[in-house]
Amino acid sequence: MKHALLRLLAAGVVALTLGVSGLATAQTIERTERHAVRVRILTRGLEYPWSLAFLPDGRMLVTERAGRLRYVAADGTLDPTPISGLPEAVAERRQGGLHDVVVHPRFAQNGLVYIAYAGKGAGGHGTELARGRLDGHRLADVEVLFRALPKSWGGRHFGGRVVFDGKGHVFLTLGDRGDRPRAQDPGDHAGSVIRLTEDGGVPRDNPYRSVAGARPEIYTLGNRNIQGAAIHPRTGELWTHEHGPQGGDEVNVIRAGVNYGWPVITYGRNYGIGTRIGGTHKEGMAQPLHQWTPSIAPSGMAFYDGDRFPGWRGNLLVGALKFRLLARLELDGERVVREERMLKGVIGRIRDVRVGPDGYVYLLSDESNGVIARLEPAGG
187, 215 Cβ separation under 8 angstroms: yes
Residue 67 has pLDDT above 50, yes or no: yes
Rounded to an integer, what is the distance from CA 101 to the centroid of its chain?
9
Give the C-alpha separation, 51 to 159, whole Å. 12
Residue 46 has, within 13 A of its CA and on its CB side, a CA count of: 36
- Tell how many helices (H) and how many strands (E) occur in the chain: 2, 24
Q: Is-contact 157 176, C-beta < 8 A?
A: yes
Looking at residue 8, what is its pLDDT? 33
Domain count, the chain: 1
Domain contains 12: no
In a domain, 260, yes or no: yes
Q: Is residue 271 part of a domain?
A: yes
Asked, for residue 1, whether it belongs to a domain, the answer is no
Residue 181 has pLDDT above 90, yes or no: yes
Domain-embedded: residue 22: no
Instruction: Give yes or no for a contact between 243 and 333, defined as CB atoms under 8 angstroms apart.
Output: no
The answer to whether the CB of 354 falls within 8 A of the CB of 343 is no
> What pLDDT does 17 receive?
33
Report in angstroms the alpha-carbon separations of 288 from 65, 291, 327. 29, 6, 17
CATH number of the domain within which 269 lies: 2.120.10.30
2 falls within a domain: no
Q: Specify the pLDDT at position 364.
A: 98
- pLDDT > 70 fraction of the chain, expressed in percent and rounded: 93
Residue 94's pLDDT band, with cuts at 50, 70 and 90, is: very high
Q: How far is CA 99 from the centre of its chain?
A: 7
Range of the domain at 34: 27-377
Decide: 289 and 335 in contact? Cβ < 8 Å.
yes
- Complete edge-to-edge strand list for the sheet that includes strand 68-72: 49-54, 60-64, 68-72
Distance CA 355, CA 343 (A): 16
* C-alpha–C-alpha distance, residues 373 and 41, integer Å: 4
Q: How far apart are the two ends of the chain, measured CA to CA in Å?
A: 52
304-359 tens-digit pLDDT: 999 999 999 999 999 999 999 999 999 999 999 999 999 999 999 999 999 999 99
Whether the ω angle into residue 150 lies within 30 degrees of 0, i.e. cis, is: yes
Span 265-311, pLDDT tens digits = 999 999 988 899 999 999 999 999 999 999 999 999 999 999 999 99
Residues 6+ apart with CB under 8 A from 173: 159, 160, 161, 162, 193, 194, 223, 226, 227, 229, 240
pLDDT number for residue 30: 96
Q: What angle do CA 348, 350, 354 make, to 5 degrees?
A: 135
157 a catalytic residue: yes
The pLDDT confidence band at residue 379, using thresholds 50, 70 and 90, is confident
In a domain, 3, yes or no: no
The residue from 35, 99, 104, 157 that is catalytic is: 157
In a domain, 11, yes or no: no
Residue 252 has pLDDT above 80, yes or no: yes
- Can you tell me the distance from the alpha carbon of 297 to that of 318, in angstroms, rounded to the nearest whole number? 10
Residue 13 confidence (pLDDT) above 70: no
Q: Using DSSP bridges, classify how beta strands 361-365 and 350-355 pair: parallel, antiparallel or unpaired.
A: antiparallel
